[in-house]
Chain A
Amino acid sequence: MSQANTVPLNLTAKDFASDQDVRWCPGCGDYSILAQVKNIMPSLSVPREKYVFVSGIGCSSRFPYYMNTYGFHSIHGRAPGIATGIAAANPELQIWIATGDGDGLSIGGNHLLHAMRRNINARILLFNNRIYGLTKGQYSPTSELGKKTKSSPYGTIDNPLSPISVALGAECTFVARTVDVDVKHLRTVLERAAKHQGTGFIEIYQNCNVFNDGAFEYASDKDVKLDHILYLEHGKPMVFGKNREKGIRLNNGNPEVVMLGNGISEDDLLFHDENAAEPTVAFMLSRMRHPEFPEPMGVFRVSKQPTFEDRLMAQLKAAIAKQGPGKIEDLFDDGETWVVE
């Protein structure tokens, strides 16, 4: 149920909290994501009633229950389908999808792909913890090869997917990655996705402290992360390292890690262009994996294109302009008609 309050002009994060107790495990990375989503909502100048949170099944998919907005907790993997219908029925709504590595990339992989290629105006938060949490610890489509889990006592034998590679391959127009506990970065990425027109896909490294604790420690631990991640900044050289002493350079079309100095300057490094017409370099970045490479964080790609709803409404508008608003009688009279006396 909703609180029967009127909508204040100046909303705060609290206004976006529902009256339901949050039931994730203590210490779950989801708490941080929920807090940051609530934090950015007031700054987007979108009335609360225009937000719709849609989800499938899994730990992350409980998200809509905790937001005091419109919400739909649907069935496993199908949030993009539900969201597509919502968007088509009312393009004025601001849609957010919460999904996970299992929900989004396994059972719902097909829908995720097609929502992205259609460029529906929705932000997709993919909570990647590389494990099945709600079903208690089986491997997921992002679990590393050979991982031993409850359902793979001898180690997994299937290759993991890279969510960013999938999104780029599916023609997604906004593709980014961030980490649950990197609050400032998470917040920035969420804000940018919120303002993007079209599908905004964010892979969030999220720690499942019960079934896969520390899966992304290399990317989240303050002491080591700077050597293991690369913050992408548009127009800037790709520099990383605790002392910003390392960089990424192209060598024969392949990325390599180089030490700055000794004749190598920032000008020799790859410069990030998130608006590149083709996602080729972005895809290359998505293939950079720990520990060989620092894993890129931030916005891989932004492309300005009409949304699915833009194109849908343009066709309706054009049809009405050309034919006038349809009258049922005209449908009846389609083709030959005759009168029986």
Chain B
Amino acid sequence: MSTTLTDSPHQRPKQIVELTEAAVRLAGDSGDGMQLVGTQLTNTSAVFGNDISTFPDFPAEIRAPAGTPAGVSGFQIHFSSRDIRTPGDKVDALIAMNPAALKVNISDVEKGGIVIINEDAFSKTDLAKAGYANNPLEDGSLDRFRVYRVPLAKLTADALKETGLGAKAVERCKNFFALGIVYWMYDRPMDVTLNWINDKFSNKPDLAAANVKALKSGYFFGETAEIFSISYRVAPAKITPGHYRKITGNEATAIGLVAAARSINKTLFFGTYPITPASDILHQLSKYKNYDVRTFQAEDEIAAVTSAVGASFAGAIGVTASAGPGIALKTETLGLAVMTELPLVIVDVQRGGPSTGLPTKTEQSDLWQAVLGRNGDAPIPVLAASTPGDCFYMAHEAVRIAIRYMTPVILLTDGYLANGAEPWKIPDLKTLPTITVSHPTQPNDPKGYMPYKRDERLARPWAVPGTPGLEHRIGGLEKADVTGNVSYEAENHHHMTMTRMKKVLGIANDLPKLTVEGPEKGDLLVISWGGTFGAVSMSAQHVRDKGHSVAHCHLRYMFPFQKELGTIIRNYRKVLVPELNTGQLRQLLRAEYLVDCIGMNKIQGKPFLISELEEKMLSILSNK
């Protein structure tokens, strides 16, 4: 950290401290627009060239009682001049729009961290709603932080006095005033947000002007008010050269599906039913009509998946998406897709369960549901994305496997990946794995078209309705080998069940090689999967930096596992499996490889902190 004095573009020279990274959390009522300004700070930092990682955290209720802890909505963004992979363990600066936001978030703020408080919202009633007996601004409980009391509502009202807007509209602009202060404090350029405001409110010039005014007033307040002595600068990160954008997991999933479908000139049919946190995939895809994306908001989760199966039968790429409870409803149809051996992609954006659980919080507890949760022996390949941007590649990969093996494929993402954002290097389409598809036009046998006559990968042919001479019937009853006619024969059922399993297990021959970060043999192997990649890889690196023999192996293929895993797992004295569930991967690994694994399990609706992972690794290593 270095301290410099520079010339401000404005009147007053200011003291600027260079930081390598900062984690800022904006918190307020659900109606305060925190997600919106959080997204603006994200976009600005990404375009500025920082590495970023975000964590939006909002309640399940649309408008919980105002001012209560239940209604607090927060958005954390971590921006850095070097590689980062998590939203940050601790918060360097908290912006609290009311006492409830302060109460819910203060424990995450670093000692000595900045706390900017909207003091207009600290009346006796406000404090009571938040459950404060004493005013934290006066009782000394915030002494270990650098607290800045700012009358945000009043300052916003003063700034917008001339606009002629009503009190309510003015009040709504205070989030941009707060954002303005953050922009000043972290030396962020305002142009990305100014452009966004003007674009968003192009039909409402008075609102555009008011929000611009609020943002700039906040910025100038930071600069001219005597209360902030220092501002900070986080330089752009040195990241791989290329063309970048910011992307969330749900956006990446959506365009990964479209990219896969377009690469083979296929209709993408997306049948779904709205559910948190998967709905944004529908919102995104419903805009892409000119890409031949046909979205269907079904009457329920079952119709969502059955329509996708129907679309696949008719020759489109059928896709459905949901969260855990919705996947449960689709389960019977997944068995049908296994039996009829049709390509289908099922995206499960995991959230806290069971039942309705924690709809807006993240968890990794649908792994068993995805791998095991069906009647009968019904193997379905399961993939898991590791970062928001990786959702693109895994969605593309899911389509590839579904078509190549004529099988449903489940893609697991989670709430943390779905809503979290990172800078994403726009891929070169030519470097993506090739997807090939072929539909027979001639009978594949002298006796006629045989829908269950398989290729060398055991995949059956995909003859599409409308093709003359290939008329055939499929369904959920057991199929006779080759002909596909209904068969109740004992030997045939055994053969078909084993064949379906063999086909899916054979996918392991067709997967990228699994590697580890760190030593190839050693004391500890940490195996993670899905959205915990960032925190686990960073913490393992830190522990290696301290001289320990720790390797990290991250899984994106959950069923079947990559072929190398069995060998890798035996090269280390101990195995640690951190998961945001009670130990679902650990159990699968034990069953598959007969090795002991130590679990680290967190079921709080929150991602892992780097520090807690490090601590666990170090404690295991000290017990050797």
Q: Which residues of A come within 8 Å of B, CB atoms?
A: 1-7, 18, 20, 47-54, 57, 64-65, 67-75, 78, 80-90, 92-93, 110-111, 113-114, 312, 315-316, 318-320, 322-326, 328-329, 331-341
Give the CA-CA distance A70 to B336 in the complex, in Å.
Answer: 17
Contact residues in A for B240 (Cβ distance below 8 Å): 340
From the candidates A1, A4, A5, A81, name the one contacting B298 in the complex (CB within 8 A). A81
A93 contacts which chain B residues (CB < 8 A)? 314, 465-466
In the complex, B520 has a CB within 8 A of chain A: no
Say whether A90 contacts B315, CB under 8 Å. Answer: yes
User: Does B471 sit within 8 A of A, measured CB to CB?
Assistant: yes
Structural contact, A2 and B192, CB atoms closer than 8 A: no
In the complex, whether B73 has a CB less than 8 A from a CB of chain A is: no
Is B466's CB under 8 angstroms from A337's CB?
Answer: no
Question: What would 13 more interface pairs be, CB under 8 Å, given A89-B269, A93-B465?
Answer: A1-B472, A4-B445, A81-B303, A88-B296, A89-B312, A110-B303, A325-B290, A328-B258, A328-B259, A336-B192, A337-B244, A339-B242, A340-B240
Say yes or no for B281: interface residue by CB 8 A criterion.
no
Q: Does B483 contact A (CB under 8 A)?
A: yes
Q: Which residues of A contact B291 (CB under 8 A)?
A: 325-326, 331
B474 on the A face (CB < 8 A)? yes
Give Cα A331 to B429, complex, Å: 12
Q: Do the beta carbons of A84 and B255 come within 8 Å of each other?
A: no
Does B300 lie at the interface of the complex (its beta carbon under 8 Å from any beta carbon of A)? yes
Chain A binder among B154-162, B223-231, B448-456: B448-456
Pick the contact of B46: A52, A54, A92, A336 (CB < 8 A).
A336
Query: Which of A83, A324, A333 has a CB less than 8 Å from the CB of B245?
Result: A333
Closest to B475 in A: A73
B385 at the interface (CB under 8 A from A): no
Which residues of the other chain, B, contact A84 by a CB distance below 8 angstroms?
A: 271, 296, 298, 303, 306-307, 310
Residues on B with beta carbons closer than 8 Å to the beta carbon of A1: 447-451, 472, 483-485
- Return 26 A-B CB contacts under 8 Å, by A number: A1-B451, A1-B472, A1-B483, A18-B473, A49-B469, A49-B470, A51-B471, A54-B310, A70-B471, A72-B310, A81-B306, A83-B310, A84-B303, A85-B309, A89-B318, A326-B288, A329-B429, A331-B255, A332-B255, A335-B43, A336-B192, A338-B47, A338-B245, A339-B243, A340-B239, A340-B240
A6 touches B469 (CB 8 A): yes
* A72–B47 touching, CB < 8 Å: no
With A and B bound together, what is the CA distance between A92 and B316 in angstroms? 14
The one of B244, B290, B308, B468 that contacts A319, using a Cβ cutoff of 8 Å: B290
Determine if B123 is an interface residue (Cβ-Cβ < 8 Å).
no
Residue of B nearest to A7 (CB): B468
Pick from A67, A82, A113, A328: contact of B313, CB under 8 Å: A82
Most B-side CB within 10 Å, residue of A18, A50, A326, A339: A326
Chain A residues near B259 (CB-CB < 8 A):
328, 331
Q: How far is the CA of A74 from the CA of B429 in the complex (A)?
A: 37
Task: Report the minimum CB–CB distance from A97 to chain B (whole Å).
Answer: 11
**B314 contacts A89, CB within 8 Å?**
yes
B446 within 8 Å of A (CB atoms): yes
B433 at the interface (CB under 8 A from A): no
B40 to chain A, nearest CB (A): 11
Please, which residues of chain A bring their CB within 8 A of the CB of B192?
336
> Among residues 226 to 262 in chain B, which have CB atoms less than 8 Å away from a CB atom of chain A?
236, 239-246, 255, 258-259, 262
Q: Is B142 an interface residue (CB 8 A)?
A: no
With A4-B449, A319-B289, A340-B240 in contact, do A50 and B466 touch (Cβ < 8 Å)?
yes
**Contact between chains at A78 and B303 (CB < 8 Å):** yes
- Chain B nearest Cβ from A124, distance in angstroms: 15
Q: Which of A48, A111, A335, A337 meets B471, CB within 8 Å?
A: A48
Q: Which residue of A lies closest to B259 (CB)?
A: A328
Please tell me if the beta carbons of A72 and B245 are within 8 angstroms of each other in the complex.
no
Which residues of chain A have C-beta atoms less than 8 A from B245's C-beta? 332-338
Q: A81-B307, A81-B310 are in contact. Are A65 and B289 (CB under 8 A)?
A: no
Whether, in the assembled complex, B333 has its beta carbon less than 8 Å from a beta carbon of chain A, the answer is yes
**A6 partner residues in chain B, CB cutoff 8 A:** 468-469
CA A7 to CA B474, docked complex, whole Å:
21
CB-CB nearest in chain B for A325: B290
CA distance in complex: A333, B241 (Å): 16
- Bound-state CA distance A74–B342 (Å) is 13
Partner of A316, one of B239, B294, B446, B465: B294
Other-chain residue from A4, A81, A88 in contact with B447 (beta carbon distance below 8 A): A4
A52 vs B279: C-alpha distance when bound (angstroms): 31
Q: B319 to chain A: closest CB distance in Å? A: 11
| Contact status B466-A73, CB under 8 Å | no
Taking a contact as CB atoms under 8 Å apart, the answer to whether B290 and A85 are in contact is no
Q: Are B299 and A88 in contact (CB under 8 A)?
A: no
Residue of B nearest to A316 (CB): B289
Interfacial chain B residues near A48, Cβ < 8 Å: 468, 471
Closest partner residue, chain A, to B427 (CB atom): A332
A2-B471 CB under 8 A given contacts A50-B465, A88-B269, A336-B46: yes
What is the bound-complex CA distance between A48 and B340, given in angstroms? Answer: 22
| Residues of chain B within 8 A of A87, CB atoms compared | 310
With an 8 A cutoff between CB atoms, is B205 at the interface?
Answer: no
CA distance A291 to B362 in the complex (A): 60
Least CB distance, B333 to chain A, in whole angstroms: 7
B269 adjacent to A49 (CB under 8 Å):
no
Q: Say if the beta carbon of B187 comes within 8 Å of chain A.
A: no
CA A110 to CA B426, docked complex, whole Å: 43
Q: Is the CB of B289 within 8 A of A64?
A: no
Question: Complex Cα distance A54/B313, Å?
Answer: 11
Q: A86 and B313: CB pair below 8 A?
A: yes
Q: A49-B471, A52-B465, A89-B310 are in contact. Are A4 and B336 (CB under 8 A)?
A: no
Q: Tell me the bound Cα distance from A91 to B542 in angstroms.
A: 57
CB pair B244–A78 under 8 Å, yes or no, is no
Instruction: Point out the residue from A3, A82, A315, A335 that lies within 8 Å of B309, measured CB to CB.
Output: A82
Asked if B437 is an interface residue, CB under 8 A from chain A, the answer is no
* Chain B hits for A337, CB < 8 A: 243-245, 426
The reply on B332 being an interface residue by CB < 8 A is yes
| Closest Cβ–Cβ distance, residue B259 to chain A (whole Å) | 5
Decide if A89 touches B449 in the complex (CB within 8 Å).
no
